[in-house]
Amino acid sequence: EDKVVQSPLSLVVHEGDTVTLNCSYEVTNFRSLLWYKQEKKAPTFLFMLTSSGIEKKSGRLSSILDKKELFSILNITATQTGDSAIYLCAVAGGTSYGKLTFGQGTILTVHP
Amino acid sequence: GAVVSQHPSWVICKSGTSVKIECRSLDFQATTMFWYRQFPKQSLMLMATSNEGSKATYEQGVEKDKFLINHASLTLSTLTVTSAHPEDSSFYICSARVSGRGGDTQYFGPGTRLTVL
C-alpha cells in the first residue's frame, strides 16, 4: 500500500523564522511528488518534483526531492503570517490515472 | 495554472435528501477528475476517480451506491450524495488531472461544504 508521511504534524513559529517541512514516501512506480498549500478552501498547487537534486524555487519557498532516500523537503524562509496554512505533500504513482496519495499534512502557524 | 470550479460552495440539507455537487474544468479538458473528502484538521481522503465516458473507480470503503459519480463530458464531473445523513457532513473537493511534459498535476476546485441536518 502506498504511504506518504509528513513531519512535523504541526509547527508554530514567529515571523521571520525559517521552517523546513518533511515528506517521506513509499510508493510503487513513483511518478512525481507535489506540494500544496491549503488555507480555508481547497489546496493550491506549489511545486511538482520529478527529478532528484533539482531545487524548485518560488519566492521564499523552495523544495527538493531525494529519490534515493525517498523524501522531499519544503523550505520557507522569512516566514510571514500569511504563510499560516496546512501544507500537503502528495505522491503520484501506481496507476496511469494520476491518483495522488496524500500525507497527513503539516499545520504551520506563524505568529507576528 | 488551470482553473477548476465547484458548485455549490456550500449546501445545507435535511437528512434523507440527495445533494448534487458539480466540478468543472474551466479552461481545459479533463479526462480524469478526482473526488476527495476532508474532515476538519485532516488531510484529503480520495473517494473515487472519475473518468470521462466510463464508470468511476471507487476507493475501498466508499459506497458507490451512496456517492454517485457521473463524468458526462470532458469538462464536467458530478458527485451526488444520495439519502444524505449527518455523518456525510464534510468538505468535498474535486480535482482535475493535467498532464504535462514534467508529469501529471492535479488542480483543485474550491470545495463544497455539505452540512446535513
The CA-based angle B15-B20-B26, given to 5 degrees, is 150
Specify the pLDDT at position A58. 95
Question: What are the pLDDT tens digits along chain B (117 aa)?
Answer: 678 999 999 999 999 999 999 999 998 888 899 999 998 878 889 999 988 888 899 999 999 999 999 988 889 999 999 999 999 999 999 999 887 766 778 899 999 999 999
Distance (Å, whole) CA B81 – CA B9: 15
Specify the pLDDT at position B55. 87
Distance (Å, whole) CA A6 – CA A10: 10
C-alpha cell at B114: 455539505
The HSE-up count of residue A72 (CA atoms within 13 Å, CB side) is 29
B 60-99: CB under 8 A from A: 93, 97, 99
Report the pLDDT averaged over residues A69-95: 93
Specify the pLDDT at position B97. 87
Q: Which residues pair with B106 in a beta bridge?
A: B97
- Residue A98 to residue B51, Cβ atoms within 8 A: no
pLDDT tens for A30-62 read 889 999 999 988 899 999 999 898 899 999 999
Binned at pLDDT 50, 70 and 90, residue A94 comes out as: low
What is the identity of the amino acid at A78? A
Specify the pLDDT at position B104. 77
- Residue A32 to residue B104, Cβ atoms within 8 A: yes
Tell me which residue of A76, A61, A79 sits closest to A13, measured CA to CA.
Answer: A79
Distance from CA of A75 to the nearest CA of B (A): 20
Specify the pLDDT at position A95. 61
Q: Centre a 10 Å sphere on the Cβ of residue B117 and count the other Cβ atoms it contains.
A: 10
C-alpha cell at A39: 488555507
* B109 near A CB under 8 A: yes
Distance (Å, whole) CA B104 – CA A28: 16
Distance (Å, whole) CA A61 – CA B99: 24
Distance from CA of B82 to the nearest CA of A (A): 23
Specify the pLDDT at position A97. 61
Binned at pLDDT 50, 70 and 90, residue A5 comes out as: very high
Q: Centre a 10 Å sphere on the Cβ of residue B72 and count the other Cβ atoms it contains.
A: 10
How many residues belong to chain B? 117
Q: Which residues pair with A13 in a beta bridge?
A: A110
Chain B partners within 8 Å of A104 (Cβ): 42-43
Contact in structure between A105 and A88 (CB atoms under 8 Å): yes
Tell me which residue of A43, A71, A48, A67 sits closest to A58, measured CA to CA.
Answer: A48
Report the pLDDT averaged over residues A7-31: 95
Q: What percent of chain A has pLDDT over 70?
A: 96
A7 Cα distance to chain centroid: 10
Distance from CA of B78 to the nearest CA of A (A): 17
- Residue A97 to residue B32, Cβ atoms within 8 A: yes
Distance (Å, whole) CA B53 – CA B111: 23
Checking if the pLDDT of A96 tops 70, the result is no
Chain A partners within 8 Å of B47 (Cβ): none
